[in-house]
Amino acid sequence: MAEHFVQSPQWGWYILGYFFLAGLTGGSYTLATMLRWWGGAGDQRIARLGFLVAFPLVVVCGIFLTVDLGQPLRFWHMMINTTPGDTGLSFKYWSPISLGSWALLVYSGFSFISFLEALGMLGPFSGAFGRLFNFIGSILALFIASYTGVVLSVSNQPVWSDTWALGGLFLASALSGSAALLAWFASSRPDAGSTQWRLLRADGYFALLELVLIVVFFGTLAAAGTLSHALAGPWVFIWILVFASLVAPLMGLGHDRRLSATLSARGGALTASTALIVLAGVFLMRLAIIFSAQS
């Protein structure tokens, strides 16, 4: 059984906000790329929306990360070593925060260029270059959406360090939330019923993946003897809400393609409520994980 005698790093609301938005920016960029690659002509409007969403979110991510620092004006120390006599770039691949800082910087560049392209300021990215650009951007986006879980695991905190599932869990949850968000946006376009249906179907798959990973997460904690820590006090109720948030996307898996016509006809109310519930689940899951370990 794992025993921990650590202190809390006091990672609070800014970090929670960062983890939430990092998931959404990475998920939106990835889904936009998927729609661009595998979707039809009618899916491209929502793909463009995905790129338009990804960049502003990553800007807010950077702000949250910076203001959480005890010395915000030293944010650049993440990448530049200022040790007297040993100055230069700072890159530690074995430190997830160091790796994540660099990834966030490079991903910001990719999402910015995709943002400009989606605005029509660069002309369409097509052909092999466009595919390669979006491929690299998506690799970075997937990393940004998942590495926050690895940051927690690479520690000695109870709960966080007792599992290897957080990176995957955060990624599945991020993709689920992003699919719900983009489906919500699609609901405002009367001609995007097919795209909306595809996004909801994808959301169902991602929610299923998330459910499996939550089970794995709880299983690893049980093996380490810290499951009770993760579920103590109010946290069990938060987890019940997280499970409840998965019901709607999982039920969507049972719908056939005729749903697209229904969605077009019924407008955005259904998708908006679904999206808000899913996004609340994405937020609450991170809240439960971040705060329960530190309580």
Partner 1 sequence: MAEPLGLFTDTSICIGCKACEVACKEWNQLPGNTPEFRDSFDNTGQLDAQNWRHVKFIERMPDEPVAVGNGHAWLMMSDICKHCTHASCLEVCPTQAIIKTEFNTVFIQQEVCNGCRDCIAACPYGAIGFNADTGTVHKCTMCYDRLQNNLEPACAKACPTQSIQFGKLADLQKKADARLATLQAQGNSEAQLYGRDDKVYGGLGAFFLLMQKPEVYGLPNKQNAVLPSRNNSKSYFGALVTAVIAVFAGMVAFRRDGTSGAVHDGDSASADNG
Q: What part of residues 150-209 is at the interface with partner 1 (CB under 8 A)?
A: 150-157, 160-161, 164-172, 175, 191-195, 198-199, 201-202, 205-206, 209
Other CB atoms within a 10 A radius of the CB of residue 160 amount to 24
Stretch that binds partner 1, among 17-25, 53-61, 97-105, 242-250 (CB under 8 A): 97-105
In the complex with partner 1, the residue whose CB is nearer, 74 or 237, is 74
What single letter denotes the amino acid at residue 18? Answer: Y
Using CB under 8 A as the binding rule, whether residue 129 contacts partner 1 is answered as no
For residues 108 and 54, what is the distance between their CA atoms, to the nearest angstrom?
Answer: 9
Using CB under 8 A as the binding rule, whether residue 74 contacts partner 1 is answered as yes
**Interacting positions 220-249 with partner 1 (CB under 8 A):** none
**Residue holding tokens 């798959």?**
205
Report CA dihedral (179, 170, 106, 131) to the nearest 10 degrees. -40
98 three-class SS: helix
Contact in structure between 16 and 65 (CB atoms under 8 Å): no
- Selected binder of partner 1 within 25, 48, 183, 214 (CB under 8 A): 48
**Residue holding tokens 């920016």?**
25
Using CB under 8 A as the binding rule, whether residue 118 contacts partner 1 is answered as yes
Stretch that binds partner 1, among 54-62, 65-73, 241-249, 281-289 (CB under 8 A): 65-73
Please state the closest distance from residue 111 (CB atom) to partner 1, in A. 16
In the complex with partner 1, the residue whose CB is nearer, 69 or 240, is 69
In the complex with partner 1, the residue whose CB is nearer, 71 or 254, is 71
Residue closest to 198 by CA, chosen among 184, 183, 176? 183
71 three-class SS: coil
Using CB under 8 A as the binding rule, whether residue 111 contacts partner 1 is answered as no
In the complex with partner 1, the residue whose CB is nearer, 101 or 245, is 101
Collect all residues with Cβ–Cβ distance below 8 Å to 259 and sequence separation of at least 6. 197, 200, 252
Identify the burial level of 265 via C-beta atoms within 10 angstroms of its C-beta, where 0-12 means exposed, 13-18 middle and 19 or more buried.
exposed
Report CA dihedral (90, 155, 286, 225) to the nearest 10 degrees. 170
- Selected binder of partner 1 within 20, 24, 58, 101 (CB under 8 A): 101
Using CB under 8 A as the binding rule, whether residue 23 contacts partner 1 is answered as no
In the complex with partner 1, the residue whose CB is nearer, 120 or 254, is 120
